[in-house]
Structure 1
Amino acid sequence: MKLPGSAGPLPHHDGSALHAPRHVEPGADVRLRLRVPAVWGRAARVWLRSIHDGEPRYDPARNLGEADGWAWWEAAMVVTNPVARYRFLIEVGPRYWTLNAQGLFSRDVSDYADFRLTTFRPAPKWLRRGTMYQIFPDRFARSTPSQPAPEHTSPDEAFPDWAVPCGWDTTEVEGSGPQTPYQYYGGDLRGITERLDHIQALGADVIYLTPFFPARSNHRYDAATFSMVDPLLGGDEALVELVRAAHARGLRVMGDLTANHSGDAHEWFQRALADPASEEAGYYYFNADHTAYESWYGVRSLPKLNWASPGLREKFVLDDDSPVALWLRPPFSLDGWRIDVGNMTGRLGGTDLNDDVARLIADRIRSINPEAALLAEATNDAAPDFSGEHWHGAMTYSNFTRPLWSWLAGDAGHVNFFGTPLPGPNRTAAEDFLATHLDLASAFSWDVRQQNMNALNSHDTARAATVMIDGGQRLGALLMFTLPGVPVVFAGDEFGLKGDNGESSRTPMPWDDPSRILTDLTADYAALTALRRDQPALTGGGVRWLYARGDVLAFVRETGKSAVLVVVARAGAEAELAPGTLSGAQFAALAGRPAYAAGEVMVELRREPGGAPEPSPEPSPDASAGKFRADEAARSALIRTRGPAAAAWVLPGTRLPLPQS
């Protein structure tokens, strides 16, 4: 396999508008384009290999001409199946090459990583264009005035028996121990409403709330009912106020729903436990004598739901007061759901109802609000469950977060590496990051890739600031905001908060104690959300990798009108963008200031690769903005960094050949 970014430009195709239609209907005749760089080779013939009812067929492509050193080819394909899979076969001299979503191969490969077009209903545009801000309600903010602070109350005051009252700025979060799920800091929904200015100033426009139902823990994934908002968070009215205030600002609000399990204090489970003959007993998996039951990972407080039960399907999804439906309707009007452990929902041993449950939930949500979003958690290789038919996208760590942690790994003694028995991530090279990213992203359709949640960390993981090298969070944030996917900021990221596992990462926000702000990254996050919002290439453009070696990653997001070049280096390094990687006009644009920069980045534009730089104007005195040598006839660029650094430039768009007469 030839990895993009390893040896100059390679043949390229992706699902963006430069190469493929945005949405297709069943039976449609679609046109798909491939481009081949002249510096790589001259293709004699190109074929499109597509799968129809399980059988491959080959259709010849026609040469559309050349533009900026690239030969463009186009082939037609009939969309026979809801998921239309295809790849390209390229003849160059005596050799044949296969191009799929994973890369370029000189051998035959499986169909798993073929490009995909789907006929499913598109996700709402606001999802792929948005920036998500994740909030763990107990640790975000207490409202003013609020109920008495937990640390100032006596044991007989109105707090549940499970709670261990904690001081917001004075009690350390216990990352692992008997009190971990019970530490109660007193954040509530009105506290979020009062801090909407902060969220909006960061540029986030989608608030993702972890569960808000009554429970017997601070995380609330062990719901005791789905019919009300936890009074500790302010009750139903507090959610109504939050959503109304958010909507008035143009923000969306998504909830978090556990479709795999309830809590053992849930009203359904309590009835099931008390009466084996009850309807609710069928909602769970009990043994024959009703003395034991299935639960999530054997955690007894999280009994697993049995989706073979018609009664559960009615109560959870179809009824008007079901949790799926109730909270999407006025007066609550949530804008969508994230489904917890979506990969395990409906699955137990030889039973696999996962697709059925996904369809049931998706159909119900879209019948209420066609513009609602539906995401699901799947921490493993998620692509097989995410065709785009039901779930719009995945909260998954496999194709972005995990390889990014490995590439930017620092010297933390021990961090929870996504549940593995390892003490932390291996430190790997840029080649390994890209190979892993492509391997685990290639089986998603282009649409789903743009709707997957890209996170540096979350409430379930260590914090990036703990895992990564000094300054690594800024580098990772640039990648998060510029690669395909929905960037997710976990509250506290903007203050550089730390934690070596998910529980210790749930630190109360340092609103009133500036000494707990470890690194103030609010300006960086605001700049990156603005860059993503202002550049269409970052929310819909293609992605083409230009360089991936050792300490440096570089890629370009591109449309016909504009493009964005991103270069990230984890250490002082040099990277040459070879002839053909960019057009002459795009190389010339590198003489200007980057739209975003962190650290010191220097660019030398050259007429010949490896040649001396051309005479240039005086470099900018502002090191954070980069130093540049300009030559409008440049054919290559040498990019140098001093220490960890990153930059993004806005470039002219990618030209297609003029139509042939």
Structure 2
Amino acid sequence: MKTPYLFHGQDAFWVTPTQHHLKVTMVSESDRQISAIFVRCEPDNEEELLDMARGETCGRLQYWHGEIPLNSDIPLTHYCFKIMQNNRQWWLHAQGVTPRVPGKEAHFKFNRRDQPPAWVKQQVFYQIFPDRFANGDPSISVQSDEYCLRGDERPTVAKAWGAPVSDYHEGNGPNEFYGGDLAGIHSKLDYLQTLGITALYLNPIFTAPSNHKYDTTDYHQVDPHLGTNAQFADMVGDLHQRGMKIILDAVYNHTSVDHPWFDKHQRNTGEPGAYNHPTSTYREYYQFDGDSNEYIGWKGISSLPKLNFSNPAVQDFIYAGEEAVIKHWLQPPYQIDGWRFDVIHMLGEGAGAVNNAHYVKAFRDAAKSVNPDSYVLGEHFFEATQWLQGDQEDGAMNYYGFAHPVRAFFAGLDIAYHRCQINAEELVDWLNEARGKIPWQNQLTQLNQLDSHDTMRFLTMLDGDQDTMKLALLMLFAYVGTPCLYYGTEVALEGGQDPDNRRCFPWERTEQPHEMLDFVTRLIQLRKSSPALQEGSLQWLHAEHQQLAFARTLDNTFSLCLLNNSDHAKTLSLPIWQLGVEHAVLQDLLTGDEWQVKDGHLAITLAGKEGLLLTQV
């Protein structure tokens, strides 16, 4: 039997909280014979089925209204809809419509207590790897052989801007420096504003021997080869004056072996470090095997010793104390707007992630105690559902729920770069499953990226196919979640796996007309000017083979995204009546072309590799 049209959005039109209840609305086809609809919830962990009242009829749409109690024992309320039709029943839930009751992970979710910052969903983020973005002060650049990263091994290598990055197998990835710095970033704020960027995410900037700086030696100082604390404060002040935001990378799971607490290479002239000194004050900051020099490193990597979070001194330094480092950078004179917590899912007591949820919540509480509107973002390469129910992270780097499925659809690759071709139906199933497991407000503040400093650049995955890259970029800016560009994407910067994905920004490409730059600038402008794209509900209208169509709806407005990932033209007939529209003129916001909606349908032919973003004129 054909699945009926049933829909429940999650913006304010569909979901309205009161002090103790949640008012919910859903919609069906007006000519569909339905005997009853119930909204199912579980107050006190026991099922209740509450009647939905038949409401207004608008053309082919029949609205239904109901109210459920908010759970009093926990912040999270789960619900879904049971639709009775003759001898059949259908269930409407966060992952779609099925003929049986869904598992609880697929229910709609509302968190009455823990909400992410409202500002996040309005942003367009831009990720910068500082050493490769812009050199504003050559006098502080790392010099060749200035120091070694590992004892007397891995001497620094200074390279000319734009020179090729060494191959991964050469082993020089962490010790090659190109001279990018804070002064360079600050000097390019006009460029970033013209592009339309509203928020920056910087890879680590604190003192560390490597170029990537995930091996911290001083959590309170900007690395002197990047600039000074005062320079950073000035830059943040300028950003805020421009109405922009900034978040920093927080690397609190492990330190460098050169951190004074550890001091593996015995460079510290003060208090002895933990390595080789069983009686050191800092011995319990790490996890040694008795009095030996055997210790636990992150993923077994000896240069990154894991911190011991069962030690109160470590807790106080990182999050619990009044001067804890998480709080320090959120306070004046810096006042950053949030943290991206590196490998936060691995942090815990002992070798593993024991009591991980406790510490993630503690990190959240520490940040929110200084700035309740700060953004708490977690790095998770795989599924992050358990961290995204509202009480731990506001959002995650959305690899599992966006980057992975989008990569499979457009590039035919999985996260391990194995072949993985999926069609549009499979893409929608994947996206729905990932998105539906978390509350709506957290869906909106997921950080969506096509690529990052940890992945091959998306354009390189596509073998340089810029037509397909434009489709993926359109998906990035039209889909649910907050978009983030990895630096250089807007000028078609390519790069293979780490470290080749960290090439220098080719500034010469911004000095002449550039098709990709113009395209990205236009997408950013459209995203920023459309509340529907920022926080509107998602409605799928078509998903078959290599063609995809979905709408973002808010109030009485919508944006309609159409994608043809095939090389061949395809004619679609889209049920625009599901958006409450029977007759209208739709205009493509990218080209200005127009189409007619007749009798609730849009007949449209997409050229090969064509993407459109339509709205009602």
TM-score, length basis structure 2: 0.92
**How many residues were matched structurally?**
599
Match of 1:478 in 2: 474
Letter in 2 for 1:57: E
Deviates more, 1:277-286 or 1:305-314: 277-286
Counterpart-to-counterpart distance in 1, 2:373 and 2:299:
34
Structure 2 SS opposite 1:245 = helix
Match of 1:599 in 2: none
Letter in 2 for 1:505: N
Structure 1 SS opposite 2:240 = helix
Task: Spell out the pairing of 1:292-303 with structure 2 (5 A cutoff).
Answer: 292-303=294-305
Q: Is residue 604 of structure 2 the alignment partner of residue 639 of structure 1? A: yes
Counterpart-to-counterpart distance in 2, 1:244 and 1:489:
22
Letter in 1 for 2:581: G
Q: Is residue 284 of structure 2 the alignment partner of residue 282 of structure 1? A: yes
Match of 2:614 in 1: 649
1:336–1:396 Cα change, 3 Å: same
Q: Assess if the C-alpha contact under 8 Å between 1:169 and 1:513 holds in 2.
A: no
How far is 1:10 from its partner? 2.2
- 1:476-526 superposed Cα distances (whole Å, 9 cap, x missing partner): 1111111111100010100111122232111100114679x9974222222
Q: Assess if the C-alpha contact under 8 Å between 1:283 and 1:305 holds in 2.
A: yes
Q: Is residue 205 of structure 2 the alignment partner of residue 212 of structure 1? A: yes
How far is 1:71 from its partner? 1.2
Match of 2:224 in 1: 231
Q: Is residue 554 of structure 2 the alignment partner of residue 554 of structure 1? A: no
Counterpart-to-counterpart distance in 1, 2:258 and 2:59:
65
1:487–1:348 Cα change, 3 Å: farther
Structure 2 SS opposite 1:378 = coil
Q: Any gaps of 5 or more consecutive residues in structure 2? A: 264-272
Counterpart-to-counterpart distance in 2, 1:318 and 1:163:
36
How far is 1:466 from its partner? 1.2
Counterpart-to-counterpart distance in 2, 1:406 and 1:551:
12
1:15–1:279 Cα change, 3 Å: farther
For residue 570 of structure 2, the aligned residue among 569, 573, 578 is: 573
Q: Assess if the C-alpha contact under 8 Å between 1:17 and 1:541 holds in 2.
A: no
Match of 1:36 in 2: 28
Task: Spell out the pairing of 1:181-330 with structure 2 (5 A cutoff).
Answer: 181-270=174-263, 271-330=273-332
Counterpart-to-counterpart distance in 2, 1:278 and 1:489:
44
1:527–1:58 Cα change, 3 Å: same
Structure 1 SS opposite 2:500 = coil
How far is 1:347 from its partner? 6.1
Q: Assess if the C-alpha contact under 8 Å between 1:173 and 1:507 holds in 2.
A: no
Q: Is residue 450 of structure 2 the alignment partner of residue 456 of structure 1? A: yes
Counterpart-to-counterpart distance in 1, 2:68 and 2:454:
43
Counterpart-to-counterpart distance in 1, 2:555 and 2:255:
49
Letter in 2 for 1:434: V
Structure 2 SS opposite 1:352 = coil
Task: Spell out the pairing of 1:370-519 with structure 2 (5 A cutoff).
Answer: 370-409=372-411, 417-418=414-415, 420=416, 423-468=417-462, 469-512=465-508
- Larger RCO: 1 or 2 (CA < 8 Å, sep 6+): 1
How far is 1:107 from its partner? 2.1
Deviates more, 1:467-476 or 1:73-82: 467-476
How far is 1:625 from its partner? 4.1
Q: Assess if the C-alpha contact under 8 Å between 2:345 and 2:380 holds in 1.
A: yes
Match of 2:266 in 1: none
For residue 70 of structure 2, the aligned residue among 75, 79, 86 is: 79
1:157–1:31 Cα change, 3 Å: closer
Counterpart-to-counterpart distance in 2, 1:308 and 1:511:
47
- 1:298-336 superposed Cα distances (whole Å, 9 cap, x missing partner): 111111122222111101113344321111111122111
Structure 2 SS opposite 1:263 = coil
Structure 1 SS opposite 2:504 = coil
Match of 2:596 in 1: 630
Structure 2 SS opposite 1:530 = helix
Match of 2:520 in 1: 525
Task: Spell out the pairing of 1:164-175 with structure 2 (5 A cutoff).
Answer: 164-175=157-168
Counterpart-to-counterpart distance in 2, 1:284 and 1:644:
53
Letter in 1 for 2:516: L
- 1:367-398 superposed Cα distances (whole Å, 9 cap, x missing partner): 21122111111111111121111311111211
Task: Spell out the pairing of 1:102-117 with structure 2 (5 A cutoff).
Answer: 102-117=95-110
Match of 1:616 in 2: none
Counterpart-to-counterpart distance in 1, 2:346 and 2:106:
23
Match of 2:60 in 1: 69
Q: Assess if the C-alpha contact under 8 Å between 1:8 and 1:581 holds in 2.
A: no
Match of 1:147 in 2: 139
Structure 2 SS opposite 1:138 = helix
How far is 1:360 from its partner? 1.3
Q: Any gaps of 5 or more consecutive residues in structure 1? A: 597-623, 653-661
Deviates more, 1:53-62 or 1:84-93: 53-62
Letter in 2 for 1:35: V
Counterpart-to-counterpart distance in 1, 2:4 and 2:122:
29
Counterpart-to-counterpart distance in 2, 1:630 and 1:119:
42
Counterpart-to-counterpart distance in 1, 2:339 and 2:129:
15
1:66–1:290 Cα change, 3 Å: farther
- 1:584-613 superposed Cα distances (whole Å, 9 cap, x missing partner): 35x5132xx3112xxxxxxxxxxxxxxxxx
Counterpart-to-counterpart distance in 1, 2:176 and 2:3:
54
Deviates more, 1:116-125 or 1:79-88: 116-125
Percent sequence identity is 27
How far is 1:48 from its partner? 0.9
1:122–1:158 Cα change, 3 Å: same
1:103–1:279 Cα change, 3 Å: farther
Counterpart-to-counterpart distance in 2, 1:360 and 1:546:
42
Match of 2:45 in 1: 54
Match of 2:537 in 1: 542
1:177–1:44 Cα change, 3 Å: farther
Letter in 2 for 1:630: Q
- 1:148-201 superposed Cα distances (whole Å, 9 cap, x missing partner): 766xx6656999974211111233353443101111111000100000011111
1:348–1:65 Cα change, 3 Å: farther
Counterpart-to-counterpart distance in 1, 2:433 and 2:102:
13
1:387–1:629 Cα change, 3 Å: closer
Deviates more, 1:129-138 or 1:243-252: 243-252
Letter in 1 for 2:300: G
TM-score, length basis structure 1: 0.86
Q: Assess if the C-alpha contact under 8 Å between 2:398 and 2:447 holds in 1.
A: yes
